[in-house]
Chain A
Amino acid sequence: MGALGDLPDLPTLRAVTAERGDVLTTPTPQRAADPLGEPLARALEGDEDAFGEVWRLLHPPLLRYLRVRDRDTAEDIAAETWLHVVRDLGRFSGGPAEFRAWVFTLGRHRAIDAGRARAARPSTPTAEVVDIGTAPSAEAAALERVDTEAAVRLVASLPGPQAEMVMLRVVAGLSVAEVAAIVGKKPGTVAVNVHRALKKLARTHRARAARG
């Protein structure tokens, strides 16, 4: 009763129709495997190049998540997080989903701690939004940087907890349940918040891009 074998299988789950607002929708088909899985397995064995791959896959998302929390300390906290990960990697066992959850949880804890230390010396956070329209054109890399940068700032303009949920969902690749466990809220709350935020921000983002 309740043992793993009784859980409905994936296709069946996907067939469940879900209602959002007043609209009945069918969920999308199964997604592809996590590209982190293979390099992670090799990195856990000590493969240095594989670890580099893992880092390249997760460091930008981690940075972006941390930037939403606090721009100025994001780099430092991400660096500390990785050193921590590297130190304890030998004790980690699990798949890519667990690894993502672990890395982002570590980063989040460090950010919280740093935030507490900083609370004694408050500074006004800035969440100005870059207008993409006025961004300098030029080579693709610069544009890409601006796009991503602008998108991150846009998310940072949301209230803190909501911004965090969006980043953990969209960028960290965590499930609703995982995000809920990390931030300490109900999965339903996470789902609603992320949906609303994305709806609103996607509109804004499109409008700004169109103006450019």
Chain B
Amino acid sequence: MSTEHDDDGLDEFADSDLVRALRAPGTPDELAGEARFVAAFRDAHRTEAVRGRAALGGRVAGRIGVGGAALLAAVTLTGGVAAAAYTRHLPHPVQVIAHDTFGAVGVPPAPPVAPRTKAPRPTATPDPDPTTGESADERRPPQPTRSAGPGDQRSPRSDGPTSATSAATGTDAPSTDPAAGTASGFPGGPTGPTGPTSPGSDDPSTDVPASPAVTPTRVGATASARRVTTGGHATVTAIVRDHGELVEGAEVWLLQRRGTDGWTRTASAVTGEDGSAIFATGPLTETTTFRFAVDVDEDADGDPDRVLSSRKRRIGVQPLLTLSAAGPILTVHAVGAGAGEAVTVSRRTADGRVVRIGIRRLDDQGSASYDLSSYPGRVRVLVRILRTSTHTAVRRWITVRVPRKAPPTATPTPTPTPSTSPSAEPSGTASSSTTTGS
């Protein structure tokens, strides 16, 4: 979703040769591999149907055996960058659920419409590449490391190919077929040497169809960011452990709470082989708190007995603040803050204190203005919108050059008067303004 502040030159350069070249429709070279990927799509779609049936047979999910540790939430915080940084590599698989799609305040710039490729339409013959592709995919350098610790009580189920050395022969057919491209539990490296800690000793829990003796004891929650600008995205990651061992195949529910609303179950996913499930949010428009829940079935009767909860993670959404000035009138525009919210204007006094000189309310369009006529010359002011339950605070300093002469049309006033529209300035005014992100 594009925000209102795409003032990074894209519009200005959209017609330039450079941008048009960058956005040109795909060349025949680039489009050559279509058949292979469409075939992969076909296979995956077929497998989804098969796996759906198999799942009912109790392959994995949250029905896990006996356990009973105290409920703890393991916590780790990541700053800015991807959740992948936390898990050292992009987990296989990534389950992505997008929600909050209504948060759009704009639409993305339209790429040029790609004409039907001139390349010959791909034939229907199934391309053997999906298998090769999958293998190449899984042979990638960062081999997922098995859970730490000796492989005795190996919680994650080892799918066939990786545990070639262990007798994990009982796993379900659909999940071990590399060509089928299943979405979860896909091992890293069907042919190469097994992962570093892949145990020689057999894990009895890999025998199927009995469910593995695994009980989640912890659900960790991390968010990719603690704050985003309104309209921004983030990812939240759940890590499920059984006494420190990563748990694969646990069903994790994402719960969210926006503003002052209650908790709602938003989406669920199944943890991959590194015990994690990642959720991507849609564009966020309100401060949202997340947590994860895992149903635990202690007595193996098929019904959940209790629920493991992670700690809460909050992602603050910061309004987008734009300041502009025409003459002495400072205009504030905020996206992501509500009408009627207060905007304060302050300046620093000679002795260093920051003193509020005015307060306004955002109108229905999210704007407010302030007349700085009583501060001729250059004045540096601080504009702030305070935190609410639905958004974080945002503040911005801006320097405004206020003309010294009062315009003939306006009544000079010793004190600033509120005005919502900039008055016409006959004298040449140097406007200084800042467009802001966050």
Contact = CB atoms under 8 A, between A and B. Distances in A.
Most B Cβ at <10 Å: residue of A18, A64, A181, A202: A181
Contacts of A95: 98, 101, 104
Interface stretch (B82-90, B153-161, B240-248, B406-414): B82-90
Sort chain A's interface into a size bin. Answer: 35 or more
A2 B259 contact: yes
B343 to A, nearest CB: 14
A181 B228 contact: yes
Given A91-B97, A113-B84, A20 B280 contact: no
B437 A188 contact: yes
Contacts of B434: 19
Contacts of B10: 169-170, 194, 198
B388 interface: yes
Contacts of A8: 335, 364-366
A67 to B, nearest CB: 10
Contacts of B313: none
B94 A84 contact: yes
A188 B388 CA distance: 23
Interface in B226-257: 228-234
B89 to A, nearest CB: 5
Given A34-B108, A55-B34, A155-B22, A2 B286 contact: yes
Contacts, number: 374
Contact of B90 (A113, A167, A178): A113
A89 B44 contact: yes
Contacts of A10: 105-106
Contacts of A52: 34, 38, 122
B285 A4 contact: yes
Interface in A129-168: 141, 144-145, 147-148, 150-152, 154-155, 167
Contacts of B107: 30-34, 97
B93 A88 contact: yes
Instruction: Categorize the interface residue count of chain B.
Output: 35 or more
B24 A144 contact: yes
Closest 5 CB pairs of A and B: A94-B98, A187-B437, A188-B437, A117-B141, A2-B390
20 contacts: A7-B285, A19-B435, A33-B110, A35-B111, A51-B41, A79-B36, A83-B137, A84-B94, A87-B44, A87-B181, A89-B41, A102-B96, A141-B28, A154-B18, A177-B228, A178-B232, A181-B224, A190-B8, A202-B17, A205-B21
Interface of B: 1-13, 16-19, 21-31, 33-34, 36-38, 40-42, 44-45, 48, 80-82, 84, 89-90, 93-99, 101-111, 113-114, 117-118, 122, 130, 133-134, 136-137, 140-142, 181-183, 186, 224-225, 228-234, 259, 269, 280, 282-283, 285-286, 320, 322, 324, 333, 335-341, 364-367, 388-391, 431, 433-438
Interface of A: 1-4, 6-8, 10, 12-14, 16-20, 24-25, 27-28, 30-35, 43, 46, 48, 51-52, 55-57, 59-61, 63-64, 76, 79-80, 82-84, 86-98, 100-102, 105-106, 108-110, 112-114, 116-118, 141, 144-145, 147-148, 150-152, 154-155, 167, 169-171, 173-178, 180-182, 184, 186-196, 198-199, 201-202, 205-206, 209
Given A61-B111, A98-B101, A145-B29, 17 more contacts: A8-B366, A13-B106, A19-B434, A55-B38, A56-B117, A57-B111, A60-B25, A79-B37, A79-B133, A88-B94, A91-B183, A175-B106, A175-B108, A176-B3, A177-B230, A178-B1, A194-B8
